């Protein structure tokens, strides 16, 4: 892919693959790299514009979108990898299981996510 003179937005840009993607976009001559991160983030290259962006936070998404002028490439890299069985209720009790369901709530491909979260919330209240 030709990145020269392109504006690129990368989420989860503060570490891991996201950080590497920022470096690669700069190396390939991107004119602007919007670097989304949920913690404070700085980069010495002036082409990098940090954006406060938790991808599960609607108001931060809105604010980030308003801070972007034009965009050629969006790399939605932010995320967590879990290799558990999400049909197992004990896994859902783990913070990562709940976060995964929260992320899935707004996705119509996962209609059971809201219901499963609510069941867990109800159970917590009656413990």
Ligand X SMILES: NC(=O)c1ccc[n+]([C@@H]2O[C@H](COP(=O)([O-])OP(=O)(O)OC[C@H]3O[C@@H](n4cnc5c(N)ncnc54)[C@H](OP(=O)(O)O)[C@@H]3O)[C@@H](O)[C@H]2O)c1
Q: Which residues bind ligand X (CB under 6 A)?
A: 11-12, 14-18, 38-39, 53-56, 77-81
For residue 101 the two structure tokens come to: 């369901």
**Which residue, judged by CB position, is nearest to ligand X in the bound state?**
16
Which helix H or strand E contains 9, and what residues bound it? strand 7-10
| Nearest CB to ligand X, comparing residues 18 and 116 | 18
| Nearest CB to ligand X, comparing residues 50 and 79 | 79
| Nearest CB to ligand X, comparing residues 17 and 26 | 17
| Nearest CB to ligand X, comparing residues 57 and 88 | 57
Going from the C-alpha of 100 to that of each of 56, 111, 124, the distances in angstroms are 10, 13, 18
- The 3-class SS string of 48-68 reads EEEEECCCCCHHHHHHHHHCC
- Residue 52 Cα to chain centre, angstroms: 11
- The region that residue 29 occupies, defined by phi over 0 for left and psi between -120 and 50 for alpha, beta otherwise, is left
């Amino acid at each position: 892919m030709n990145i020269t003179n392109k504006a690129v937005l990368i989420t989860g840009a503060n570490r891991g693959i996201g950080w590497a993607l920022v470096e690669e976009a700069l190396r390939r001559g991107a004119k602007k790299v919007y670097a989304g991160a949920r913690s404070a983030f700085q980069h010495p290259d002036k082409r990098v514009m940090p954006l406060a962006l938790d991808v599960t936070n609607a108001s931060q998404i809105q604010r980030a979108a308003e801070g972007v002028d034009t965009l050629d490439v969006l790399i939605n890299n932010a995320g967590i990898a879990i290799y558990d069985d999400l049909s197992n209720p004990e896994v859902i009790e783990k913070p990562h299981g709940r976060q995964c369901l929260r992320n899935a709530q707004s996705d119509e491909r996962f209609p059971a996510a809201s219901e499963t979260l609510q069941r867990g919330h109800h159970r917590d209240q009656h413990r």
